[in-house]
Amino acid sequence: MNNSTVFDELYGRYKSSLYSLACYLTRNQKEAEDLFQDTWLRIAKHLAHQTIDIDNCKTWMMTITSNLYRDWLRKKRVRKSFSFQKSNPDGQTGTYLEKPMWGEKACLENDPKHLEVKMALSKALAGLPPKQRLIFVLKEIEGYKYSEIGEMLSVPEGTVKSVMHRAIRKLRKDLWVYNPKKAIIASV
């Protein structure tokens, strides 16, 4: 099979899932686009050197995205330490939230009461520390197992579990006001 044909096949199959992963990780349209492009360019370069099993390469592609995201975070941290810019305007620990994932358009179709909860969840997700968000997204949104995430990120399974627990604890804490019983905070 020709390189271009393989690329076409891969691009057609996985472009949407990689874009959504990039969006969930960066929480920023522009940065998600950059991450998406970098991922595909990396894949295109790999195509020339590697044997690729088209049917089973989603995990590999997700690993590339995750690694690029971690590189990008590292660079961002270095850049931040050398600049005198103020912290994010929304005061979140995560990246600057330009557009929440659940936009008004998507929420209006459903029950308007849920709009607030969905927006809050979107904000809570954005507020997760990057490492927790990465693992949470891979586990809950992409549906990978702990062991697979561990392999993808080259971290022990135990670390993945503990980070996941911390992420859920933080989300519960951030969303407790939206629970009708409003008693969750006591258990966190």
Partner 1 sequence: MKCKDIERLVIKSSGKLPDSKQLETIHLHVEHCNKCSRLKEDVESLRSLLRQRPTLVLPEDLDKKTYQKCVSEIQSLQKNKQRAGFGQHMQSIPIHMKAVFISFLVLTVIWIFPFFKDFGFSGEPLSVSTIFGLFWIIQNAMMLLFAPLLIRRFRPNKLNTQFVN
| Residue (of 85, 115, 89, 87) closest to 102 by Cα position | 115
- Establish if 143 lies at the interface with partner 1 (CB under 8 A): yes
CB closer to partner 1, 63 vs 118: 118
CB distance 101 to 122 below 8 Å? yes
Cα distance between the two ends of the chain: 54
Give how far Cα 92 sits from Cα of 31, 39, 157, Å.
17, 26, 28
What's the CA gap between 94 and 129, in Å, rounded? 6
With contacts defined by CB under 8 A, how many residues of the chain interact with partner 1? 53
Candidates 28, 63, 102, 127: give the one binding partner 1 (CB under 8 A): 102
Report helix, strand or coil for 102: coil
> x/- string (CB under 8 A) for partner 1, residues 38-77?
--xx-xxx-xxxxxxxxx----------------------
Shortest reach from residue 87's CB to partner 1, in Å: 27
- Establish if 146 lies at the interface with partner 1 (CB under 8 A): yes
B/e letters for 27-63, b = 16+ CB within 10 Å, e = fewer, are bbeebbeebbebbbeebeeeeeeeebeeeebbeebbb
CB closer to partner 1, 86 vs 113: 113
Largest CA distance in the chain: 59
Shortest reach from residue 1's CB to partner 1, in Å: 4
- Establish if 177 lies at the interface with partner 1 (CB under 8 A): no
Residue 153: CB atoms within 10 A of its CB come to: 19
- Establish if 141 lies at the interface with partner 1 (CB under 8 A): yes
Shortest reach from residue 86's CB to partner 1, in Å: 29
- Residue numbers at the binding site for partner 1 (CB under 8 A): 1, 3-4, 6-7, 11, 15-16, 19-20, 23, 33, 36-37, 40-41, 43-45, 47-55, 101-103, 106, 110, 117-118, 121, 139-141, 143, 146, 161, 164-165, 168, 171-172, 175, 179, 181, 183-184, 187
